[in-house]
Structure 1
Amino acid sequence: MTETGRHATHVISPSRGRISAPSRFEWRVVNIPRGTSRSQAHAMVLEQVEYGRWELKRSQILVGGARRVWLRRRVMRVQRTDAA
């Protein structure tokens, strides 16, 4: 719980922290606390999927009831076509 007495909503991590070779996908990890209802968790993930063009790759329920969701999207590499 935070100082205001409410649970934190969710935490979005842009990457898992390790640097790897260039990938065709960009990853995002969403940690959802245990007090969040299933419908609220669904709404959080759906918002990311709908507006950020992410797709759900994996979900996991951790000990204690917290959830972790892995989202991915294809990286678009664009090359310049002008002679600059």
Structure 2
Amino acid sequence: MTTDAEVVIDEDWEYRRLRLPPGVSRISAAIQLSIQAEFSGWELSNVRLYSDGTRRVWVRRRRTPASAALPGLMT
């Protein structure tokens, strides 16, 4: 899983875009995203599957003072 440079922050939410390469299975992607949700506070916002098998995933987490202390995404 790689993190793209695109990060969007608004008043309530922080969004990150991830790229999953074509070789990543659906189950493996779900496990990786579940780990991020469990330990970093991210939740799934949007997924796009492209014809070459690449997935673009948007994850988000609510902005709070405590979220600044949470670790970031695995890259």
Identity %: 30
Deviation at 1:69, TM superposition (A): 0.9
TM-score, normalised on structure 1?
Answer: 0.67
Please report the TM-score for the alignment, with normalisation by the length of structure 2: 0.73
Distance change >3 Å, CA 35–CA 72, structure 1 → 2: same
Q: Residue 33 of structure 2: which of 45, 50, 53 is its match?
A: 45
Q: CA deviation at 1:29?
A: 1.2
More helix by share: 2
How many residues in Structure 1 have an aligned counterpart in Structure 2?
66
Q: With CA pairs under 8 Å and 6+ residues apart, which has the higher RCO, 1 or 2?
A: 2
Partner of 1:36: 24
Deviation string 1:15-65 (CA, Å, 9 cap, x unpaired) is 5267x7x43111111110001111111111111111111111111101201
**AA aligned opposite 1:16:** E
Larger radius of gyration: 1
- Alpha-carbon offset, residue 77 of structure 1: 4.6
Give the corresponding residue for 1:16.
6
